[in-house]
Amino acid sequence: MKFLKESYKGLLFLAAMFTINAVLWLTANPLFAQPIESTVSQILGATLLVSFSLVFFLSTKNRFVNWLFGGLEHVYSTHRWLAILSVAFIFVHGQFANLIVWYYRDVPINPSDLGPLARNIFIALVVLALLAKYMRYERWRMIHRLMIVPYLLAFYHGVFLSSYDLISFTPLGVWTMSVGALGVLSSFYMIFLYRKTAFSYHGTVVSKTYMADNVTELEIEMQKPYAFKTGQFAFFRIKRSPFRGVPHPFTISGAKGNRVFFTIKALGDFTAEIREELAEGDAVELTRPNGHMTFEDYPTPQVWIAGGIGVTPFLSHLRTKDKLEGKITLYYSVRKKEEAVHLDFFKQLAEKHENFHFVFSESDKDGFLSVDDFDLSDNPHVMMCGPVPMAKVLKKQFAKTDKHASLTYEAFSFTGTLAEDAVHQTKRLFKKMRMKFSK
């Protein structure tokens, strides 16, 4: 429901694109008379090309896309699922391809051979994408960019075999060429231009502090003011070896004048290299800030729930704002006390501000947080950030109570694989079926 509420403009945009595509095909005149099955089958193939074009377009993460879907996390989710459906649709198209009345044109490369080739390359790249969690992010990213190759092969295959004139100034011809241009230009931008244009904010590491449990805090002095809302994140890159300029997202954990802070836990290769290799004086580049969990845009009182390094957006607000508005209660849970960051700061702030309350817990001793642990007597707006399993459990618990005004949370991953998503959804489906038949 939250996704539909915040992303309805984007979903309407996708629906409009597929609807326009179908209407233009149904109202176009073929080069020769043919059965309706041939037209419908070609519409399925054209829908596949539109879908992949939109997948590439969403990957650009531009401001229009962010506005449509109400935040980058929704863009990533839609991009991922649209990609999954597009790959599955390849096989649907294959089942109906024999119904198409093809028109063979005199072109240098036989388009009939490129359909199966495009399909096989897609499958090979998807198999590699399934292994994303076992390879370095930059290698997976390079493989991901190769998706444009089978797309171009499939586009050539469809355009030069179609029984419609798709290279023309007819409405269908202009539409088809525009869809192709959208896919190609979006992919070109991500491959060649994204890193040159998106990282427009430059800074220098002025301090690096080692904190609890493999957590490193960076203080970066920006060359120009960096305006952001507390709770947002930015993509972050370092050009020198061994970082190779590969972008990664991190929450901005605070600011002081022209200096911004990032509090980063070593959870993978890149974050471990930040802890071990990054030095004071190193140059850092940032994108504009992203993210919808911005505290001043929501009503008070507020209840904040932080799990582990998920405390960073709350930390950002508390140490950036000189004055705290409204009643705020922060529940901060870690596995053990040694994993906590800025614990003394939170305690001192609670002593200083009567409208800020702080509750700390260790799951090894106190157990996992549940909805019964939170004071919801003031009907607060609940903000939550932490590990995905924690967020899923608490989200279900909150859905069963009406003692809070609403729930806003961030617990998404930029690096999940298609396999993980497909397996997760398959398990959910079988679980629902099992529960249904067991009644």
pLDDT value, residue 238: 92
- Tally the domains of the chain: 3
% residues pLDDT > 70 (the chain): 90
% residues pLDDT > 90 (the chain): 47
> Are the beta carbons of 203 and 220 closer than 8 angstroms?
yes
Closest CA to 226 of 253, 246, 203, 249: 203
Q: Are strands 406-410 and 381-385 parallel, antiparallel or unpaired?
A: parallel
Tokens of 85: 């459906």
pLDDT value, residue 412: 46
Better-scored residue on pLDDT, 309 or 143: 309
DSSP 290: B
pLDDT value, residue 414: 43
| Cα–chain center distance at 232 | 14
pLDDT value, residue 259: 93
Task: Look at residue 135 and tell me whether its pLDDT is greater than 70.
Answer: no
Closest CA to 92 of 43, 150, 161: 43
pLDDT value, residue 87: 85
Angle at 10 between CA 187 and CA 49, to 5 degrees: 40
List the CATH number of the domain containing 230.
2.40.30.10
Last residue of a domain, one of 286, 319, 347: 286
pLDDT value, residue 24: 97
Instruction: State the residue for tokens 């294959």.
Output: 94
119 and 148, same domain (yes or no): yes
The answer to whether residue 47 is domain-embedded is yes
Domain containing 267 equals 201-286
50 and 65, same domain (yes or no): yes
The answer to whether residue 78 is domain-embedded is yes
Gyration radius of the chain's alpha carbons: 25
Q: What is the mean predicted confidence (pLDDT) over 290-303?
A: 83
Q: What is the mean predicted confidence (pLDDT) over 421-430?
A: 51
The answer to whether residue 427 is domain-embedded is no
What is the rounded average pLDDT for all residues in the chain?
Answer: 86
Tokens of 300: 């008070």
Q: How far apart are CA 407 and CA 415, in angstroms?
A: 24
List the CATH number of the domain containing 86.
1.20.120
Task: Look at residue 102 and tell me whether its pLDDT is greater than 70.
Answer: yes
Residue 294: other Cβ atoms inside 10 A: 18
Pick from 51-65, 199-213, 270-284, 377-391: least confident:
377-391
Pick from 83-92, 123-132, 250-259: least confident:
123-132
173 and 251, same domain (yes or no): no
| Sign for the pseudo-dihedral over CA of 250, 71, 151, 129 | positive
pLDDT value, residue 378: 85
pLDDT tens digit sequence for 59-93: 998 889 988 998 887 888 899 889 888 888 888 88
Task: Look at residue 43 and tell me whether its pLDDT is greater than 80.
Answer: yes
pLDDT value, residue 387: 85
Task: Look at residue 184 and tell me whether its pLDDT is greater than 50.
Answer: yes
Residue 407: other Cβ atoms inside 10 A: 17
Pick from 135-144, 164-173, 266-275, 408-417: least confident:
408-417
- How would residue 144 be classed by pLDDT, with cut points 50, 70 and 90? confident
pLDDT tens digit sequence for 373-422: 998 888 889 989 888 888 888 888 888 877 666 877 775 454 444 444 44
Closest CA to 302 of 325, 319, 333, 321: 325
Q: How far apart are CA 383 and CA 89, in angstroms?
A: 37
The answer to whether residue 356 is domain-embedded is yes
* DSSP state letters, 200-235: -EEEEEEEEEE-STTEEEEEEEESS-----TT-EEE
> Are the beta carbons of 254 and 320 closer than 8 angstroms?
yes
Closest CA to 57 of 73, 80, 36, 79: 79
Task: Look at residue 192 and tell me whether its pLDDT is greater than 60.
Answer: yes
327 and 379, same domain (yes or no): yes
Last residue of a domain, one of 145, 167, 197: 197
74 and 166, same domain (yes or no): yes
Tokens of 6: 């915040």
- How would residue 226 be classed by pLDDT, with cut points 50, 70 and 90? very high
The answer to whether residue 389 is domain-embedded is yes
Q: What is the largest CA-CA distance in the chain?
A: 81
pLDDT value, residue 29: 94
Q: What is the mean predicted confidence (pLDDT) over 301-306?
A: 92
- How would residue 137 be classed by pLDDT, with cut points 50, 70 and 90? low
The answer to whether residue 416 is domain-embedded is no
pLDDT tens digit sequence for 356-378: 999 999 998 888 888 889 988 88
pLDDT value, residue 437: 57
The answer to whether residue 434 is domain-embedded is no
Q: What is the mean predicted confidence (pLDDT) over 152-163?
A: 94
Q: What is the mean predicted confidence (pLDDT) over 175-199?
A: 92
**Position 307, amino acid:** G
26 and 64, same domain (yes or no): yes
Task: Look at residue 172 and tell me whether its pLDDT is greater than 90.
Answer: yes
Q: Is 0.85 surpassed by the pTM of this model?
A: no
Better-scored residue on pLDDT, 213 or 340: 340
pLDDT value, residue 252: 93
> Are the beta carbons of 232 and 290 closer than 8 angstroms?
yes
pLDDT value, residue 26: 94
398 and 281, same domain (yes or no): no
Write the secondary structure of 105-169 as one string of H (helix), E (strand) and C (coil). CCCCCCHHHHHHHHHHHHHHHHHHHHCHHHCCHHHHHHHHHCCHHHHHHHHHHHHHHCCCCCCCC
The answer to whether residue 180 is domain-embedded is yes
